[in-house]
Structure 1
Amino acid sequence: MADVGVNWSALFPTKWSFVIFVTYMMCFIFQGIMVTASQRPDYSYSYNTVTVVLFTEATKLVASFILYMKDHKIVTLLTEMKKHFRVLLLYMIPALLYCFYNNLAFVNLAAFDPTTYFLLLQFRVVVTGIVFQIIFKKKLSTKQWISLIILTVGCILKQLSTSEKSSSSQTPPTSFWDNLLSLHIGLLMVQVLCSCFAGVYNEKLLKDTGVEVHIMLQNIFMYIDSIICNLAVLLYRGELAFAFTYTSLIQIWQPIVVIIILNNAAVGIVTSLFLRSLNSILKTFASALELVFTAVLSWVIFGIPINGWTFLAIALVSFASWMYSQNPVVNRGRLDEVEKAHDSEAEEKLLPRNAPTHV
């Protein structure tokens, strides 16, 4: 009889893995709910969303700096930044992709309810699997691909019953094909591609290319690049000057906006820990599992109904997650190699200088 149990040791390889997994889901669920709650009745925002993203990246940078300086000196920081300047430049790629992703999140959450938004984002699952195989040269098993495909089918089923939110000035598409060809679906697909490439590329930097760099220093690199990218977006939109005016700054001091900024900053820190200890494939499943909780919370808080198609889609997502948990992807990169080297260095420091080399 085949083993149908969850492979916990492979799914969560370290003692903190499960805590990081749950924290990641909670932060993202809360973010979707809070962004929706901050919308006006016409689904627009009373604040500059690009400014909010910029302040979020600045908050992440400050948090990473504080966490790094807790165990290091400023001289060490400057030395390491100079030594790993190439890694700083490489982080510009995921920073730019995440910049597009974060800004599109506000646009797409204004067009879809949270449950539909998160369901449609699951198209990134199959794309992530393909990109993961190419970048890490790891072939996914048949069972893993089947679970990814079932997950995608769940998204398609939900899409069959999806219609965009209506407004007084626009009549939303009513059929699947209208939705497929709509502008918002196109923008959401761009967001999906940004998420896939940024997540896998970031994991590559954390586990291989920049594995010897302290994780908080890597976060500092990421957020420096992210701030540059967001400033470029503001400049392109002609909103750079307005973003720092009194009117714009006072808007982000609304309690709900401050909560969004702080929570999104936590999301960034937790995501780096997630990709370091787990992997981008499991990250997509964590995002899918958010659907169950988001659907319930959206129904309770906003009165958004859970229809039959949504229920079936959530059931498929849950089944796919259970199926994947039996045979999860294990991708440690060069982490084990570096950790062994660090352990050896620590042991050498504990030995007396004149200790005999043999008995």
Structure 2
Amino acid sequence: MQCVPFKLVSPNSRTYSKAYDRHKIRVSSKQRALNVLLVVGDCVLVGLQPILVYMSKVDGKFNFSPLSVNFLIEAAKVLFAIVMLLFQARHQKVGEKPLLSISTFVQAARNNVLLAVPALLYAINNYLKFIMQLYFNPATVKMLSNLKVLVIAVLLKFIMRRRFSIIQWEALALLLIGISVNQLRSLPEGTSAMGLPVATGAYIYTLIFVTVPSMASVFNEYAMKSQYDTSIYLQNVFLYGYGAIFNFLAILGTVVVKGPSSFNILEGHSKATMLLIFNNAAQGILSSFFFKYADTILKKYSSTVATIFTGIASAALFGHTLTINFMLGISIVFISMHQFFSPLAKVKDEQQNGITELRDVPEKLKYVLSLSLSHTHTHTLTPSGQSVRNSFG
């Protein structure tokens, strides 16, 4: 009789995703269709963002403060989350814990305090989005943002202990190759900004632009799933509330430096900036659903699809040229996506390798099982008919 080895898993290992794992098993076809709609909506919104930012510039500059736009975006998200929370509370079933009670709100605020970390990182990243527009055209900004996928994968591996197969790592490497192909000679020679050569300034901002939001996404997913039973709208109230506070503090800092005249939050805004605010608010709300019910990798790959839309739209609206490098880069990116999500690329379940994990078994029972396994004995017959005692453990 073959003995199946047991792998005893710490009760704290991957506890953040237990509820999420149970949820994935019960995913219905309607929910999968909803996920597809979320991906399509995310592609459209992400693709429109750099175009709206480009349209908001006047003579290559912004007449408004990017901090004011970010504050209005976070305020719009908070307003939407509150409205949806009220709607959800009105449709609660009998016996469920009331969402609008003070005790529920205070307890949820304590449990979700970690959301302040991604909120701060997002506040920094949202400002960098405007700075990046000074260096690159919209399609290039979208391609550069895809570099986040590799950084996110590394963070997921070490922070959330997510496993990736070799094929998936190769797919991520292929994604970087596609981005690099697109970036060949994408900047005009001799261009400069802020007194720095474009290569130096662009690479510095690119490094920050890639690292900060990657950390924000991973911490956001971790915080969302670690409190999986908390309403997503209640979590959004905290997340975007923190974001609004951080952006408002940045505005106050600007007032201290530049004077009270810079406090006008609505100064310099146009129809394009209003559309930009609405677009970013909707994009952030969709992102929270990705982090709560899907994962960060899917979110970033869905944003990658928006590259085609951004490139074609920027070429049609602003006359940007779609080079052969861009088309080749897009092709490689889509090959990478297909390879990463292919069934052959998925990590095999540990049970297929002859290992049974005991995750929800009490510690005392695990201890008894480990002792019994270490003292398990079998008897085999030798050719002479004698019984030989073999011990395992």
TM-score, normalised by the number of residues in structure 2: 0.73
- In structure 1, how many angstroms separate the alpha carbons of the residues matched to 2:190 and 2:28? 45
In structure 2, stretches of 5+ residues that fail to align are 1-26, 91-97, 348-393
Find out whether 1:69 has 2:69 as its counterpart. no
Q: How many percent identity over aligned positions?
A: 24
More displaced, 84-93 or 57-66?
84-93
1:133 to 157, 161, 164: 157
Q: Is the 8 A contact 2:252 2:263 kept in 1?
A: no
User: Partner of 2:122 in structure 1?
Assistant: 98
Between structure 1 and structure 2, the one with the greater Rg is 2
Find out whether 1:204 has 2:222 as its counterpart. yes
SS of the residue corresponding to residue 211 of structure 1 reads coil
SS of the residue corresponding to residue 317 of structure 2 reads helix
User: Partner of 1:273 in structure 2?
Assistant: 289
User: Partner of 1:349 in structure 2?
Assistant: none
User: Partner of 2:133 in structure 1?
Assistant: 109
User: Partner of 1:84 in structure 2?
Assistant: 108
Q: Is the 8 A contact 2:174 2:336 kept in 1?
A: yes
* Cα offset, 1:156, TM superposition: 1.5
Tell me the alpha carbon deviations over residues 143-195 of structure 1, each in whole angstroms, 9 at most, x when there is no partner: 1111111001111122222215977988995xxxx72xx11221122121111
Q: Is the 8 A contact 1:17 1:277 kept in 2?
A: no
- In structure 1, how many angstroms separate the alpha carbons of the residues matched to 2:100 and 2:52? 38
Number of aligned residue pairs? 311
- 1:1-359 aligned within 5 A: 14-41=32-59, 43-72=60-89, 76-163=100-187, 179=199, 182-207=200-225, 209-237=226-254, 238=257, 241-245=260-264, 248-252=265-269, 254-327=270-343
Tell me the alpha carbon deviations over residues 283-339 of structure 1, each in whole angstroms, 9 at most, x when there is no partner: 121122111111111111111001121111111111111212214779xxxxxxxxx
Calculate the aligned-residue CA RMSD, in Å. Answer: 2.7
* Cα offset, 1:244, TM superposition: 3.6
Distance 1:37 1:77, change over 3 A: farther
Q: Which amino acid aligns with 2:212?
A: C
Q: Is the 8 A contact 1:158 1:313 kept in 2?
A: yes
Distance 1:132 1:303, change over 3 A: same
- In structure 2, how many angstroms separate the alpha carbons of the residues matched to 1:203 and 1:306? 35
Q: Which amino acid aligns with 1:321?
A: M
Q: Is the 8 A contact 1:165 1:172 kept in 2?
A: no
Tell me the alpha carbon deviations over residues 224-256 of structure 1, each in whole angstroms, 9 at most, x when there is no partner: 1101111222233336844543xx42423x211
* Cα offset, 1:89, TM superposition: 2.1
Distance 1:75 1:55, change over 3 A: same
Q: Is the 8 A contact 1:112 1:164 kept in 2?
A: no
More displaced, 20-29 or 182-191?
182-191
Q: Which amino acid aligns with 2:83?
A: I
- In structure 2, how many angstroms separate the alpha carbons of the residues matched to 1:188 and 1:12? 39
Q: Which runs of 4+ in 1 moved over 6 A?
A: 9-13, 165-172
In structure 1, stretches of 5+ residues that fail to align are 1-8, 331-359
- In structure 1, how many angstroms separate the alpha carbons of the residues matched to 2:202 and 2:140? 12
- In structure 2, how many angstroms separate the alpha carbons of the residues matched to 1:46 and 1:167? 22
- In structure 2, how many angstroms separate the alpha carbons of the residues matched to 1:164 and 1:121? 20
User: Partner of 1:337 in structure 2?
Assistant: none
- In structure 2, how many angstroms separate the alpha carbons of the residues matched to 1:77 and 1:29? 39
* Cα offset, 1:270, TM superposition: 0.6
Q: Which amino acid aligns with 2:129?
A: A
